[in-house]
Chain A
């Protein structure tokens, strides 16, 4: 029983990431009709906003310490962060420690700008082109973004820790009457799960309870009619692209302490998130979220050693296997709408 709870918890945080990326993917598909293969790269860039903020906060000047030597035997040059000079060491340490939450504030405008630039600069030219062209150009864009990040940050993962208040793990076992150590779960992954629930809730509320959201939903259902009513739906859809980019960016920032960011992290998530979108139903927001969590949990269960012993290799194919079964039985995915991608 404890193992089952543990794997469900594991699946929830993995599913959170899938759901957040898939939400953006399906939002862009539902509004603009574009299959955006650069969405994983936006997630990766969000994580690198956290890396950048962390690096900026630790930007230092050298102070020579005559009492110590470096690896060549010269007097050691010690790095002193500028934030120490400006705010004092105690406040400076707090700022450096909280780099990831600070990055969460700056990532929103940055990613909205990047989203606008991508949509206006490149993707809008492909609206009337076949989906294959859109996939090729956005996939190419993802590779370009990856290479830019690798050029500036290198190929190795860069550790970006969570604030020290969230380091460590919570023993659910003790809290719920199991043995100690039976269900251990890191604090930051819990934060990530609740954060993703909040973001998903906010996006749904925005679309459901605001006039802007109502127009966007109307545009998703019947773009031409909304246009005939004199509403500039393209402008609203561009804003939605920016919002989707911001969601991916925030997901990336919060994910940075879970796995040290590196330049190709987005590609791994993109493929799985695309499967999530298809399973959930192209253009369906609740479908993307439900499929994200479902496939995350399934992937966790498939990684249990008892399952691998019984079905070797199942951990690597389970998501695709389930996707095949669902698409065979429900060709439009779990919550797909009739007519989407069927013209």
Chain B
């Protein structure tokens, strides 16, 4: 005869402990009763600004943070209101978001995917952030976007230019206002053809990572479509600082155009090296040798100094735009900080307003309601002309700026001049375009 050690009291005790253990995570979720992650209380809502505060893009991150702080100030009714007065949607009235005061927390991405995910996770789990936004790198954007999808949080991407962010790595909870590599290629190619002709031979130096590949592919296909030939494309290590051994063979390669698919410090150094090697004054194939930088930023142009003079590139936005939205933003930002905003500042400011507006129009912080309000939303007055947030891939479609390094800058901010505002139709593509293939938005995740 065997004696069982299981008693009625023991079963009840164990069962209660197990039930409490299973129920605890649900109880700890503030949203258990609302159906989505981090539902805010009645008085305030927390946004998470995840930007590079250290590392190579720290200056860009600092400018993004300034723009976020300005956006929060305007959303809460402070300052001069900035773009709230020019935004075509009039849902925002300066009383926060849905009557809640906007608070924010910040994280440091360090321009590293793992650090960016850790800081985003901390803001979501510890600070209760309802939305995450920011970043100055496509690798970081893709990583944080995937995290937000899993957590049931809306991700409003900051500066990320790779096709993959809204291409093969697109997510239902992620939205990008910034333009992309394809758009740069499509906008630049006609300007290059008009200025340099269609009989050109291009040599690409490409940063050896995700963004570099998509930018090279976009510029190659756009320029080859108008008659240019690509004679060589060389990958350069992301950690490279001296590009002389990559630049030196260019003149003797038969090429007459050098395309630098580099960003940040890479671009500053490769362009400086190219100028040192006399490429700007050289002739090849009976034509002047030319250099092209597909993605420009003012902060990069400042680093490269006089070397950017006369060099074509593209940019998402520039402070010298004369539309009412841009002028209102430049006035607000310039008055508060004493210098004009960068394109990174512009896109992050706009993304914050767009999120707040979508919540207000949806009447809910539920990420799926917000996503629905953002999808196929058409707006104007935020600095890039009429814009569509396409529902099929969560990419904004708007005019793209082709710029040129200014020949005689009048001050340290006056580095780029706009040579053409490329109409949105010229940079629009199908959601299943080969350069964006392989990705699915999937279903929106509210997180509960």
Contacts and interface: CB of A to CB of B under 8 A. Distances in A.
Nearest to A262: B265
B319 A259 contact: no
A169 B278 contact: yes
A308 interface: yes
A156 interface: yes
Interface string A78-93: 0100000000000000
B422 interface: no
A340 to B, nearest CB: 30
B241 A305 contact: no
A68 interface: yes
A272 to B, nearest CB: 10
B278 A156 contact: no
B272 A305 contact: no
Nearest to A259: B269
Q: In the complex, which range does the number of interface residues on chain A fall in?
A: 35 or more
Interface in A47-73: 68, 70-72
Contacts of A6: 248-249, 252
B7 to A, nearest CB: 58
A137 to B, nearest CB: 22
Contacts of B249: 3, 6, 304-305
B79 interface: no
B59 interface: yes
Contacts of A189: 244, 276
Contact of B303 (A14, A156, A168): A156
Given A159-B304, A262-B56, 9 more contacts: A6-B249, A72-B331, A155-B57, A159-B305, A159-B307, A181-B282, A184-B282, A268-B239, A315-B237
A258 interface: yes
A150 B241 contact: no
B232 interface: yes
B17 interface: no
B245 A308 contact: no
A300 B249 CA distance: 11
Q: In the complex, which range does the number of interface residues on chain B fall in?
A: 35 or more
Contacts of A11: 245
A157 B252 CA distance: 29
Contact of B330 (A72, A188, A258, A299): A72
A186 interface: yes
Contacts of A304: 245, 249
Contacts of A252: none
Nearest to B279: A184
25 contacts: A6-B249, A7-B245, A9-B248, A10-B245, A13-B244, A14-B244, A14-B245, A71-B334, A72-B335, A154-B58, A157-B303, A158-B303, A159-B268, A168-B278, A182-B252, A184-B282, A186-B276, A259-B241, A259-B273, A260-B303, A260-B304, A260-B305, A262-B56, A268-B239, A304-B245
A260 B278 contact: no
B290 to A, nearest CB: 15
Given A181-B252, A186-B276, A303-B246, A155 B305 contact: no
B376 to A, nearest CB: 35
A181 B251 contact: yes
B245 A303 contact: yes
B277 A184 contact: yes
Sorted nearest first, the 3 A-B pairs with minimum C-beta distance are: A159-B305, A303-B245, A169-B278
Interface string B257-276: 00000000100110011001
A184 B272 contact: no
Nearest to B340: A71
A191 to B, nearest CB: 12
Given A3-B252, A71-B319, A169-B277, A156 B237 contact: no
A72 B282 CA distance: 39
A258 B246 contact: no
B251 to A, nearest CB: 5
A305 B330 contact: no
Nearest to A186: B276
Contacts of B252: 2-3, 6, 179, 181-182
A150 B54 CA distance: 9
B370 interface: no
A291 interface: no
Nearest to B334: A72
B78 interface: no
A264 B56 contact: yes
Interface of A: 2-3, 6-7, 9-11, 13-14, 68, 70-72, 76, 79, 150, 154-159, 161, 168-169, 179, 181-182, 184-186, 188-189, 258-260, 262, 264-265, 268, 299-300, 303-305, 308, 315-316
B410 A157 contact: no
A155 B58 contact: yes
A68 B410 contact: yes
A161 B309 CA distance: 15
Contact of A305 (B232, B305, B331, B411): B232
Contacts of A10: 244-245, 248
B334 A155 contact: no
B35 interface: no
A258 B252 CA distance: 22
Contacts of A262: 56, 265
Nearest to B61: A155
A157 B299 CA distance: 9
A341 B276 CA distance: 42
Contacts of B425: none
Contacts of A156: 59, 265, 268, 299-300, 302-303
B242 interface: yes
Contacts of B265: 156-157, 262
Nearest to A17: B242
Contacts of B335: 72
Given A13-B244, A14-B242, A159-B307, A71 B268 contact: no
A155 B59 contact: yes
B245 A300 contact: yes
B230 to A, nearest CB: 13
B281 interface: yes
A308 B269 contact: no
A258 B276 contact: yes
Contacts of A188: 276
A159 B284 contact: no
A249 B59 CA distance: 26
A264 B245 CA distance: 21
Interface in B300-322: 300, 302-307, 319-320
A70 B265 CA distance: 28
Contact of B237 (A9, A71, A265, A316): A316
A304 B284 CA distance: 20
B304 A184 contact: no
Contact of A161 (B59, B300, B306, B413): B306
B276 to A, nearest CB: 4
A268 B251 contact: no
